[in-house]
Structure 1
Amino acid sequence: MKPSLSLCTLTISLAALCLPLAAHAQAKATAEEATAMVKKGVVALKAAGADKTKVYNEVTAKDPKWVDRDLYLVVYGLDGTVRAHGANAKQVGANLIDMLDIDGKPFVKERVELAKSKGTFWQDYKFTNPTTKKIEPKSMYCEKLDDMAVCAGIYK
């Protein structure tokens, strides 16, 4: 009876060890989730018509439909002004066109230029992850909508 008890104990112990790994695997958003969030944002902004304030406010207030773990929506005007930010409300209204990442990359300027030239794109840079508070490599998926870039990114 002891062998089956220890086998059972071993099985339970292994399962318990795997749970944190499974939870950790789900901690970071995926490229598919970022793409889906941007597409959902574009639909909401189109539906809002001329008054997009409600959508901007929901995003900035970290409404759960616009923020999920380390994934959040950001909306930039094509001049580099932040219209909504799901991780940092202090950036709303600020023109970040000259903002640089840790490597000196002018990522907002590049983002605006890519929105104007490509419309839909992925962009790589480094940014502070809101869940880890560490600067990490990030890939941002964006779609141009009228005079704005609607974006969400994943940390690598």
Structure 2
Amino acid sequence: MNQKTIKMAVIIASVMMSGMHLSASASDHGSEAEAVKMVKDAVALVKSAGPEKAYKSFTDHPDNSFKLKDLYVFVYDFDGNCLAQGANPKMVGKNLLAMRDVDGNTFIKGMIDMVKASSKGWYGPYKFNNPATQSYELKKSYCERGAGDTMICTGIYSGKG
């Protein structure tokens, strides 16, 4: 092989590797369909096992349950108290009704208001720290009414901030 052929092979290999990296990164994000399914499964678990056991499963996700790619379940009551949080267990027990994203949006309150009005749906976009990338990204969350005055949600990240 001459020097020109070797350089071209290196360039082609670099381009192929960067393309593989991009597709791997994109596949690390959960989809809308996966988020909706996770919330529906979470609602079903609350109904079958009861809130206390379900919330523990959402927060601790034993056997990788209720955690897929960058998806996780979070639960709030309508007063803004965090009841379960699959990415950051330290949030459980805190009232986060007034929590704002980096743009000043009170997104927990927004989700609660949406669930009170419609029982389920998508809320967003808002900016939130993606625990998988440790950076702020646009996020929207699918939420459904849970047990009593609660909401069960899973959010998807767009990868853009």
Range into which the TM-score falls when normalised by the shorter chain: 0.7 to 0.9
Question: Post-superposition shift, 1:38?
Answer: 0.4
Question: Counterparts of 2:120 and 2:66 in 1: how far apart (Å)?
Answer: 19
Question: Counterparts of 1:35 and 1:48 in 2: how far apart (Å)?
Answer: 20
TM-score of the pair, normalised by structure 1: 0.85
SS of the aligned residue for 1:140 comes to strand
SS of the aligned residue for 1:37 comes to helix
Partner of 2:149: 147
Question: Post-superposition shift, 1:22?
Answer: 3.0
Partner of 2:82: 82
Q: Gaps (5+ residues) in structure 1?
A: none
Question: Counterparts of 2:30 and 2:104 in 1: how far apart (Å)?
Answer: 25
2:71 is equivalent to residue 71 of structure 1: yes
2:25 is equivalent to residue 24 of structure 1: yes
Q: RMSD of the alignment, in Å?
A: 1.9
Partner of 1:133: 134
Question: Post-superposition shift, 1:102?
Answer: 0.6
Question: Post-superposition shift, 1:21?
Answer: 3.2
Partner of 1:117: 117
Partner of 1:62: 61
Question: Counterparts of 2:36 and 2:112 in 1: how far apart (Å)?
Answer: 18
Cα pair 1:62 1:87 within 8 Å, conserved: no
SS of the aligned residue for 1:95 comes to coil
CA deviation vs aligned residue, 1:125-155 (integer Å, no higher than 9, x gap): 1100011111111010000123210000100
Count of paired positions = 147
Partner of 2:105: 105
For 1:103, the aligned partner's letter is: D
Q: Gaps (5+ residues) in structure 2?
A: none
For 1:38, the aligned partner's letter is: V
Q: Work out the percentage of aligned pairs sharing the same amino acid.
A: 38
Please list, as runs of the form range in 1=range in 2, the aligned pairs for 1:27-66 lying within 5 A after superposition. Answer: 27-49=28-50, 52-63=51-62, 64-66=64-66
Question: Counterparts of 2:18 and 2:143 in 1: how far apart (Å)?
Answer: 37
Question: Post-superposition shift, 1:62?
Answer: 3.4
Question: Post-superposition shift, 1:113?
Answer: 1.1
Off by >2 Å, runs of 4+ in structure 1:
12-22
